[in-house]
Amino acid sequence: MLRIIDDLTMQRTLRHSIGCVGVGLHTGARSALTLHPAEPDTGIVFRRSDAGGHHAVRANLVNVTDTDLCTALADAQGRPIASIEHLMAALALCGIDNCSVELAGPEVPAMDGSAQPFVFLIECAGTLEQDRPRRAARLERPIEVASSGGLCRLIPAEKRSLHCRVEDDRRPVGIQELALAFEDEGPRHELAAARGHHFTDDLEALEARGLARGVSTKNTLLVEEGTVLNEEGLRFPDEMVRHRMLDAIGDLALLGLRLQARYVGVGAGHALNRKLLRNLLDAAMLPYDPIMALAGGSISPVADEPLMIAGG
């Protein structure tokens, strides 16, 4: 099902620490986020610094606790680390394999609702090639999962690519479809700036479930009766499907390995993406944290004061 191989490229981390502050999309709480360099084979790890957290939480399928409109982790004390998907997508788009993420608050700041602010942070911090080859997983047989709302599948392919489709009768979504190659950092500019969207008539019900409490036009593409309320309007005519693809990249990064395959998602969200990866690792008889099964990791010490950027 999966063949673990050494990639032809080397692992990368940040050159310097850097951070930002902003409001969480679902909690409405203000949080501070700092990205630090990390040693080879560390992967992406999170730590809640606001509550005396001493244990790193690896961004992997083991530690995912919620996929309701976002992907959330929890630390050993049960403290949430919510809405990691846009940051995970930005790290993947920028080719970052190893990063220690310090979060002072319950949720990653939403910033403008896209991955672009995180891409900007990474570009400002710079990246550093490390002395260890990347680990990759080559898919050998297709796998698919489906629900009443959609499906997603992985198909063996020589090169990585994504194909997503969203359907919604409400304007301006309609039917949107997009296919992109995902080699190196190719999709960064096509996807990073795409924002998540909400319809205003859904917000009351979402808030009753403890979600969308920080939503505004500053961090969300808001739609009311078919009209986009954001002053700048749409950034892309097909911004909704671009954002869905961005979410898929962030979720697939939870594998911890470069997956050589074609991803197809039709109406697929975080829960279905998680199920796809779990079923894949089950079929391959691999643990839900394959990177740790292959090599141990540690977090590098921070040598410089991070630059902090406000947003949200």
The answer to whether 198 is a known catalytic residue is no
Among the options 16, 26, 243, 270, which is catalytic?
270
Three-state SS letters, the chain: CEEEEEEEEEEEEECCCEEEEEECCCCCCEEEEEEEECCCCCCEEEEECCCCCCCCEECCHHHEEECCCCCEEECCCCCEEECCHHHHHHHHHCCCCEEEEEEECCECCCCCCCCHHHHHHHHHHCEEEEEEEEEEEEECCCEEEEECCEEEEEEECCCCEEEEEEEECCCCCEEEEEEEECCCCCCHHHHCCCCCEEEHHHHHHHHHCCCCCCCCCCCCEEEECCEECCCCCCCCCCHHHHHHHHHHHHHHHHHCCEEEEEEEEECCCHHHHHHHHHHHHHHCCCCCCHHHHHCCCCCCCCCCCCEEEECC
Instruction: Catalogue the active-site residues.
Output: 270
